[in-house]
Every structure is written in C-alpha cells, then in structure tokens.
C-alpha cells in the first residue's frame, strides 16, 4: 500500500513538473527567453523609440519577452545599478543595457556575466568590453563630426561657437563632444570655441539655465551653439528663445522631439543629428538572442547617423528618423 501511494505521489509530481516546464515553453517548443532591456531613462522620446524597436524584435523572434525597466532620471547611477542587480537576482536570460556611466556599471555587468547572464550594451559604451557580448549604437564620434561640418557650413567657416556638454561619464555624448571639437579644429580653423567645458545636466530645465548663463556671458559674440542630446537641445532652444537669439544663432542639436522638429521648421534650429533608436532596440535584442542560441555576434553593430536640416526635413528617409515609432 505504501509503495502504491509513493508511486502515485511520484507520478503526480512528475505531471506537475511537466506542466510547469511546458508553461515556460513557447508555441514553437523552444524555451521562452526573458530579456531585460534597461535604458538610461524612461521619459524622453528617444527611449520610447528604443522600446518600440526592442518589442518589434521580440515579436519577430516569437519566443522572447522584453522586460523593460529603467531609472526615471538619467543621472541616477545607483538606481540603474539596482535595476541590473534585480534582474540578475531574477535570473533573466540576457540583459540589454544603455549604461548611464561607462565605468560605474562595469562591476554589475561583470556580476551578470559571472552568473551566466550575457549582456549587450547599446547607445553608450562600457569601459570594459570584455564583460559584454556586443555594443549596438550610433557612431557617436561621427555624429559629432557631422554636427561640426553642419556648423562650419552654416557659419561659412568662421565665427564664435559654444559646445554645451551633457553629463560626466556618459560615453555616447563624450564621443559626440570629441568629434565636434576635433573636426572644428581640423577643418574649420577660423571657428573659435568660446566655451566647451560646461555641462548641461540631465534635464531640459538644467540645460536651459546653463545655456542662459552662457548666453549672458557671450551673447553679443555668439554665432553658433552645439547641444549634444535631446534634453540638452530642448534646454538650449528655450534659452535662445528667451534671449531673442533663436534663428539668429546657428544652432545644431542631437536627437529629435516634436517640439524640436517644429522649431527646425520655423528656422530656429539649423541641424539635428539623427540616430535610429528603433534600430538600436531592435538590433540589440536580436544580438542577445543570437548569442544565447550560440550564434556568432559582431562585437560592434553600428545603427547609423545623419543630419536633418530645414532644407531636407521633408525627405521620406529623414521623416522616418525624425518621427520614429514609440512604445506606449
């Protein structure tokens, strides 16, 4: 009798386990992969477009669930580290991360690797590529080069300009800043950089306040200004409007939003360097899944960069990048 009872219990347990296992499998019989996608922040249009690309890849792959979570503010290093640690504890299958800080996130990603969880980095680089599978991003240095060339063209090769930096430790924007300054020095020696050591901070309000200080300091001399990301660009636009300089100063920004597109149509912005955030989210999720399945992944995947201007903004390929899909 005891033997029979034991056998029944074993059979019941086996059935329960089988049911549990089948629940975690997708319709095509493969294991459903849980991929954590961690942006730098969650409020800006750019990240919503990255999210849309990640979801598109998951939908196409068919057995992938995107777990989207990021800190609210783009300067919350601790918050982002905690999100990574939480996903490691939850034993996700892979991590896709836009690191807020190129060095501060290295230990967390090393922890993930030690736990057998691979990571693909996107948008902004990590100081130690050895702990990651691949880096999916714009060539940010080239984005800065394009911004400098647009500025040089607008100013006919001479004038006084300002570079407003973004945030210390943000590798993507540091590359843009370097590309801009190097190209001006090399290709436009008559353009003088009045200021290149000021940081906007991570919100449009902080950027506007910093840009107002710079306008007050250099306003009568100012011929051009380069802002290196979306909140930075929105803030500078607000300052130029407040000071009556919008449309009078050659202004090149980075990353679009509906407000910035309107401003460009009105001639207040002469150029916006465009990335492809949808492609970034899409390629990053595809890369991590490929790696998990044992396939070869390129260590660097470039998603492209281009410049929108008031003159070319109606072209279909520019329109697509100015108004990328967004996740709800």
Q: What is the second-level CATH architecture of the domain 31-138+277-303?
A: 3-Layer(aba) Sandwich (3.40)
For position 75, what pLDDT does the model report? 86
CA-angle at 106, arms to 101 and 110, nearest 5°: 155
For position 21, what pLDDT does the model report? 33
- What count of other Cβ atoms lies within 10 Å of the Cβ of residue 188? 20
CA proximity to 256, closest of 278, 231, 281, 238: 231
Q: What CATH number does the domain located at 140-274 have? A: 3.40.50.2300
Beta bridge partners of 160: 192
Q: Do residues 195 and 218 lie in contact, with contact meaning Cβ atoms separated by under 8 Å?
A: yes
For position 73, what pLDDT does the model report? 85
Please tell me if the domain spanning 31-138+277-303 has the same topology as the one spanning 140-274: yes
| pLDDT tens-digit readout, 202-248 | 899 999 999 999 999 998 899 999 999 999 999 999 999 999 999 99
Strands 271-274 and 306-308: antiparallel
For position 88, what pLDDT does the model report? 98
For position 3, what pLDDT does the model report? 52
DSSP string, 244-298: T-BTTBEEEEES--HHHHHHHHTTS-SEEEE--HHHHHHHHHHHHHHHHTT----
For position 156, what pLDDT does the model report? 98
Instruction: Flag residues of the chain having pLDDT under 50.
Output: 1, 4-28
CA proximity to 309, closest of 251, 256, 264, 279: 264
Tallying the residues shown for the chain, one arrives at 328
Q: What is the DSSP letter of 32?
A: P
Longest dimension (CA), the chain: 98
**In Å, what is the CA distance from 258 to each residue of 44, 81, 194, 218?**
11, 31, 30, 29
Q: Do residues 232 and 177 lie in contact, with contact meaning Cβ atoms separated by under 8 Å?
A: no
Q: What is the pTM of this model?
A: 0.80
* Domain boundary assignment for the chain: 31-138+277-303, 140-274
**In Å, what is the CA distance from 276 to each residue of 44, 83, 141, 149?**
14, 25, 15, 20
Q: If you search the block for the tokens 């691949």, which residue do you land on?
A: 134
């Amino acid at each position: 009798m005891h033997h029979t009872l034991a056998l029944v219990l074993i059979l019941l347990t086996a059935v329960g386990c089988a049911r549990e296992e089948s629940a975690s499998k997708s319709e095509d019989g493969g294991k459903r992969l849980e991929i954590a996608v961690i942006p730098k922040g969650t409020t800006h249009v750019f990240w919503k477009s990255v999210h849309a690309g990640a979801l598109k890849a998951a939908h196409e792959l068919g057995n992938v669930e995107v777990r989207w979570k990021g800190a609210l503010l783009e300067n919350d290093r601790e918050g982002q580290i905690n999100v990574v640690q939480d996903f490691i504890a939850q034993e996700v299958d892979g991590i896709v991360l836009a690191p807020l800080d190129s060095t501060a996130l290295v230990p967390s990603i090393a922890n993930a690797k030690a736990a057998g969880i691979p990571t693909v980095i996107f948008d902004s680089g990590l100081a130690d590529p050895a702990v990651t599978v691949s880096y999916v991003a714009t060539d940010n240095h080239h984005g800065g080069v394009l911004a400098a060339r647009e500025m040089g063209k607008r100013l006919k090769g001479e004038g006084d300009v300002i570079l407003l930096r973004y945030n210390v430790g943000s590798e993507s924007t540091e590359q843009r800043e370097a590309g801009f300054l190097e190209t001006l020095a090399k290709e436009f020696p008559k353009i003088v950089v009045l200021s290149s050591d000021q940081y906007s901070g991570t919100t449009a309000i902080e950027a506007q306040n910093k840009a107002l200080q710079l306008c007050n300091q250099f306003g009568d001399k100012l011929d051009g200004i380069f802002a290196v990301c979306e909140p930075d660009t929105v803030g500078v636009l607000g300052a130029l409007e407040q000071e009556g300089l919008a449309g009078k100063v050659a202004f090149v920004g980075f990353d679009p939003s509906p407000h910035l597109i309107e401003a460009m149509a009105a001639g207040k912005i002469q150029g916006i360097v465009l990335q492809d955030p949808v492609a970034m989210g899409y390629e990053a999720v595809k890369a991590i899944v490929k790696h998990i399945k044992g396939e070869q992944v390129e260590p660097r995947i470039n998603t492209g960069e281009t410049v929108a201007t008031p003159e070319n903004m109606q072209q279909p390929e520019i329109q697509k990048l100015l108004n990328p899909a967004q996740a709800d």
